[in-house]
Chains A and B, each alone.
Chain A
Amino acid sequence: MTGQIVNYQCPACTGPLHFNGSSGMLECDYCFSKFTVEEIAKHYESQNTKAAEAFSEQKETDWDLSELSSQWENADQMKAYICPSCSAELICDEHTAATKCPYCGNPTVVPGQFKDSLKPDYILPFKYSQDDAIEALKKYYRGKKFLPKEFSEQNHIEEIQGVYVPFWMFDGKVHANITFDATKSHSLKQGQFLITNTDHFDVHRVGTVSFEKIPVDCSKRMPDGHMDAIEPFDYSMLKEFSTAYLPGYLAERSSLSVKECVDRADARVQNSTVQIIKEDVIGYESITEKQRNLQIERGKIHYALLPVYLLATKYQNQDYLFAMNGQTGKLIGNLPVDKTKYWTTFLSIFVGVTLAAGTLLWLML
């Protein structure tokens, strides 16, 4: 339990450090010193190694649950750590890799969560701050006609967290062999009749579509819809993983295996492949797919932590979760719909268009 976590402290004053997305450096909250990721990673290299080793040893002597009541059945999924700054005991989810001590507020990292095969290949650093995320949410409310007034007026965010979400990234190719029935038609007048000749073609396409780093989040806690909707990420900014990017944010390691996630990637590549092939069939009036044969050639799998802000709020006892891409600033989420506003707008449009269109038709006919 002792020494499994590391507090990234300022080498100058021992104040807590946090990663600043806009500067791309680790900054001290007290003396405002700035350090590069490489400097801090080197400074804490030996401490991280020791913490990771302690984490591995701890596995053998984890919780003794024999005398706990059945209500604590999930306790084996929890872990306890000692904060190196204030010696408080931190209870975390078994997948937590970076958090903040609730007692002294120091950002803490559990390097053991990313040891050996669990170490991510890449990390995409945060570019936007929490303030940017709050501003983006306010902007998101604007122009939403059916948003309840109280919801936007209260606008109190219950919780905001910058989280490094674990993603599997799949490389691969899809070999497609698809046949379509395509038609072209032309019409000619013969007396009082219009003769329409429709030519049917058997269209055959064989092709290969390659994909690179399709992200599928491997966190059980993260809703799939939210994680898909904040895409895309700019992979040109991917960095080699270092725990030095984590201070100031939450992070967790994967809680879903590759096998559990691969179906989501497969479905997406298949749909995109069919669409790409279909777009190659041009010059026809209609295209109907007749037969398809898709073979997926699986490639490399990468493991990466991608930056996401999660903003949670409550309205009428219901939770609303929004997610913002920490790199691009794209914010998504489902807002509550005011039914009165919906039906008022519906009726206003209905009555207005009925009167306008009806009068116009009456005058024309």
Chain B
Amino acid sequence: MMRKKRCLGLMNMLIAVFLVLLFSVPVFAENDTLLILDDASVLSEEEYAELYLHAYDITEKYECAVHIVTIDDPDLDMNSIQQFSESLYLSSDQFGYGPSKDGFMLVVNVSERCYWLLAYGDFGNMALTDYGKEIMSEEFLDDFSFDDWPRGFQDYLNFSEQVLEMAVDGAPLDKAEQPASPLTSYGIGAFFALIVSFITCESFKGKMQTAVKSSYAHHYIDMLNTNIEFRNDRFAYRTTTRSKIQSSKSKEGGTTVNKKGFSGKGGKF
């Protein structure tokens, strides 16, 4: 029963992808790249044109396609938007730049108020790190919260331009690039020092206060007449906990890429 339901879900998704491609009014760049797909019709013609030109400039300058997709589908929620976005990106040669299909794509479902931001290709993934996605999301999410779609997309394009410029310079925006403030470093140092000082001084003080009552009588145990007569270790029950692995890469920075070659981040707004 579950298997049948899953098959139907996948079919629906592929049909959705097909319909999106069929009924949208695609804008083709000179290299036949589909940059903006406004299926939810949230952009006016002027807004659309302005965003398209900006996306086109970025794509051509950095050889990394920057896509915007809007949809209005109540069946597409947070659980399925990632799969939908990745399927859409791989479904056509019109997504991504060149043979390596380098690119970013921001998919926004206006009815479920959720989004997925992905990067693809070696250069795309290198330019838009996990940390970069976090910062970029903060840039556009406040606009989306007020349904200010054009400004949100403009922020997305501006930030994409910034991270691509940094990547071309050989220093993509990443966690490691953000130096810790001296205040934080010395704050942590002070906390550590407080513990060390307390332990050291109390240890010195403890050596001066040696007249203490004894709680044990270990010195007087007669080992010859001491024995454990019964031992029983019985398995009772098992508990299982599941925690997400905080990869060292994400702690240090970099980009987490899945088996399909995508990196991504999503959420609600």
Q: Which residues of A contact B (CB under 8 A)?
A: 143-147, 173, 181-182, 189, 192-215, 223-226, 228-229, 231-232, 265, 267-269, 271-272, 275-277, 280, 321, 323, 332-335, 337, 342, 345-347, 349-362, 365
B234 at the interface (CB under 8 A from A): yes
Chain B residues near A272 (CB-CB < 8 A): 216-218, 221
Query: What bracket does the count of chain B residues touching chain A fall in?
Result: 35 or more
Given A209-B226, A280-B231, A332-B210, CB of A350 within 8 Å of CB of B238: no
Chain B residues near A355 (CB-CB < 8 A): 189
Q: Is A362 in contact with B186, judged by CB distance below 8 angstroms?
A: yes
Given A193-B243, A207-B226, A356-B189, CB of A200 within 8 Å of CB of B220: no
List which B57-91 residues lie within 8 A (CB) of chain A.
none
Question: Which of B46-54, B132-140, B192-200, B261-269 lies at the binding interface?
Answer: B192-200
Q: Is A193 in contact with B192, judged by CB distance below 8 angstroms?
A: no
Q: Is A203 in contact with B233, judged by CB distance below 8 angstroms?
A: yes
Given A201-B234, A272-B216, CB of A357 within 8 Å of CB of B229: no
The A interface, classified by DSSP as helix, strand, loop or mixed, is mixed
Question: Which of B121-129, B146-154, B177-185 lies at the binding interface?
Answer: B177-185
Q: Is B226 in contact with A192, judged by CB distance below 8 angstroms?
A: no
Q: How far is the CA of A357 from the CA of B194 in the complex (A)?
A: 11
Q: Is A224 in contact with B196, judged by CB distance below 8 angstroms?
A: no
Question: Which of B14-22, B92-100, B201-209 lies at the binding interface?
Answer: B201-209
Q: How far is the CA of A357 from the CA of B187 in the complex (A)?
A: 10
Residue of B179, B201, B213, B238 touching A224 (CB-CB under 8 A): B213
Q: Is A345 in contact with B204, judged by CB distance below 8 angstroms?
A: yes
Chain A residues near B221 (CB-CB < 8 A): 209-212, 272, 276
Q: Is A225 in contact with B219, judged by CB distance below 8 angstroms?
A: no
Chain B residues near A199 (CB-CB < 8 A): 235, 237-238
Q: How far is the CB of B235 from the nearest CB of chain A, in Å? A: 6
B44 at the interface (CB under 8 A from A): no
Given A225-B212, A332-B210, A342-B201, CB of A358 within 8 Å of CB of B222: no
Q: Is B233 in contact with A145, judged by CB distance below 8 angstroms?
A: no
Residue of A192, A205, A334 touching B210 (CB-CB under 8 A): A334
Q: How far is the CB of A146 from the nearest CB of chain B, in Å? A: 6
B214 at the interface (CB under 8 A from A): yes
Q: How far is the CA of A270 from the CA of B129 in the complex (A)?
A: 60
Chain B residues near A203 (CB-CB < 8 A): 232-234
Q: Is B211 in contact with A223, judged by CB distance below 8 angstroms?
A: yes
Q: How far is the CA of A41 from the CA of B133 in the complex (A)?
A: 95
B227 at the interface (CB under 8 A from A): yes
Chain B residues near A347 (CB-CB < 8 A): 197
Q: How far is the CB of A188 from the nearest CB of chain B, in Å? A: 11
